[in-house]
Structure 1
Amino acid sequence: MDLLSIIGAILAVAVILVGTVLKGSSISALWNPAAVVIVFFGTTAAVMVQTRGAVLKRAMKIVGQVFKPGNTDVRDLISRIVGWSELARRQGLLGLEANIESETDEFARKGLQLLVDGTEPAVLRDMLESQIYIQEQADLAAAKVFESAGIYSPTMGIIGAVMGLMAVMQNLADPSKLGHGIAAAFVATIYGVALANLFMLPMFNKLKSLIQQRQQHHELLIEGLVAIANGDNPRLIESKLQGFIV
Structure 2
Amino acid sequence: MTVAGRLGRLPAARDPRVPRMADYVRAVAPSGAIRWGAAVASWPMALNDRLGCCTIAGVAHAKQMYGVIGGAERVMSDAEVEAGYRRFGYAPGNPASDQGAVEEDVLRSWLQDGFVIGGVLDRIEAFASIAPADVAGVMTGLSVFGAVYLGVVLPAYVREQDVWHVPAAPSAADLAPLGGHCVLAVEAEPPTGPDSCLTVVTWGALQRVTWGWWLACGEEAHVIDHPDWTRPGSLSGVDRAGMRAAMAALA
Sort the TM-score into its range (normalised by shorter chain).
under 0.3
* TM-score, structure 1 as length reference: 0.24
Counting helix residues as a fraction of each chain, which structure ranks higher? 1
More strand by share: 2
